[in-house]
Amino acid sequence: MTTTDAERRHKLIPLLGPAFVAAVAYVDPGNVAANITAGARYGYLLVWVLVASNVFAMVIQYLSAKLGLVTGQSLPTLLGARMHKPGRIAFWLQAEIVAAATDLAEVIGGALALHLLFGVPLLWGGIIVGVVSMALLLVQGGGRQRQFETIIVGLLIVITLGFLAGLFVAPPSPSGVLGGLLPRFQGTDSVLVAASMLGATVMPHAVYLHSSLVNDHEADELGPSTSDSRHSSGHLSRLLRATRIDIYWALSIAGLVNIGLLLLAAAALSGQSGTDTIEGAHAAISSTLGPIVGTVFAVGLLASGLASTSVGAYAGSEIMNGLLHIRVPIMVRRLVSLIPALIILGAGAEPTWALVVSQVALSFGIPFAIIPLMRLTASPEVMGNYANTRPLRLVGFLIAAVIVALNLFLVYLTLTGQG
């Protein structure tokens, strides 16, 4: 490595981190059962779906980060500035419903993990997850963005090890993995499973948040004065380059985790029943691969719930501030957003049913995040010389069309009872 290369790498490293926070949304508890179900039912058939979805995620998260860096504002802030008050309130309400649905899945996932590990009742598990997430959020803000990112990265490592450890006990078939890269289906039910995997790829709160994360990170690392020199020679280009690297590594890890879950199920759980729920998947893993692997899996699930619910609360705060210009203390917001999940857990609702309902709510919110993102990043008025090129516009709107269509398809099947 030359001195110049070393210097460039040294300058880029402090700029990395925001994508790892956003990437937590792609390995939250809501994705675990879907990927394991796909592998247990269809073996390696749907590997290609997760590969495609990860590529989609990289493009969308890059556009969100680019929007934030070029404009110096978040997606919610830019949308709020273009809407009248009734429109801003309506948009905020749907975004809040989506954020609450996301938090619901994440708190329930963490509570399930505590139940699997220690037999903790689900309600108390939800309370514990909420308290720990508050402690994590205390680190965020006040010039401590890097510390928050470090904690989230640490949890992401635990998630990765927890969910992929079983592959060392039951390695996948190389020929099966290669065969799974060929796009194909096996009956209408496999289409539905594929749609659920791909349609849930993009989490709206991660799209809103990434545009804010990059600017919070830059201010924390380099000082607020950098915002005045944002368009100085080479500075913005360097930020965008670092962002591409950040997203590549963060979402590659997230994609590896999701694909690994499918491969684990395909190698060890193929044909087994009862893996449609997280509890069932854990039981099947423990009985097939041993209690140690099952415990490690549950630890990964716990880390997933803690990390994703902390990031979700952070995102909700940024959405409210951008659209309504109201800055609610994040601890207060954490308490309020925790209430729906605790009510559902306390009422004794079936956790998997609650997860399904939350995914339907997410499906309704995705178009409201993706379509404005594509329009804003394609606009020279907003982005100047950094507006999306024609090929990128085409790719972006194609991805948006596929994801929106699949989510509408999922909502239709769920509401008509065909899913």
Q: Which amino acid is at 232?
A: S
CB 101 within 8 A of CB 375: no
Q: Which of 135, 133, 126, 131 is nearest to 342 (CA)?
A: 126
Q: What is the pTM of this model?
A: 0.89
pLDDT number for residue 176 = 94
Contact 151, 295 (CB under 8 A): no
Listed residue (177, 202, 188) closest to 26, CA to CA: 202
Q: Could you name the CATH architecture of 3-416?
A: Up-down Bundle (1.20)
**How far separated are the first and last CA of the chain, in Å rounded?**
54
Mean pLDDT for each consecutive 10-residue tract of the chain (419 residues)? Answer: 53 74 86 82 93 93 96 94 92 86 85 94 94 85 75 92 93 95 86 75 86 80 52 76 94 95 90 77 88 94 90 86 87 84 85 70 82 95 94 90 79 67
pLDDT on residue 352: 66
Inter-axis angle of helices 291-324 and 85-118, nearest 10: 160
CA pseudo-torsion sign 28, 56, 94, 75: positive
Phi and psi, residue 230, nearest 5°: -55, -40
Helix H or strand E segment including 320: helix 291-324
Tokens representing 183 are: 């796009």
Q: Which residues touch 186 (CB under 8 Å, ≥6 apart)? A: 42, 45
The number of angstroms, rounded, from the C-alpha of 343 to the middle of its chain's C-alpha atoms is 24
For 302, counting Cβ atoms within 10 Å of its Cβ (0-12 exposed, 13-18 middle, 19+ buried), the class is: buried
Rounded-to-integer distance, Cα 329 and Cα 239, Å: 29
Q: What is the pLDDT of residue 131?
A: 92
Q: What is the C-alpha to C-alpha distance for residues 44 and 221, in angstroms, rounded to an integer?
A: 43
- Could you tell me the two tokens for 13? 């490293």
In 3D, which of 97, 33, 55 has the Cα closest to residue 362? 97
Count Cβ atoms below 10 Å from residue 395 Cβ, excluding itself: 15
In this structure, are residues 385 and 237 in contact, taking their beta carbons and an 8 Å threshold?
Answer: no
Contacts of 368 (CB under 8 A, 6+ apart): 91, 94, 95, 98, 204
Residues sharing a CB contact under 8 Å with residue 39, sequence separation 6 or more, in sequence order: 46, 261, 262, 263, 264, 265, 266, 267, 269, 270
> What DSSP line would sit under 140-190, residue for residue?
SSTT-HHHHHHHHHHHHHHHHHHHHTHHHHSPPPHHHHHHHTS---SSHHH
Under DSSP, the state recorded for 348 is T
Q: Any idea where the domains of the chain sit in the sequence?
A: 3-416
| Res 76: pLDDT | 95
**Calpha distance 390→400 (Å, rounded):** 15
30 and 261 in contact (C-beta within 8 Å)? no
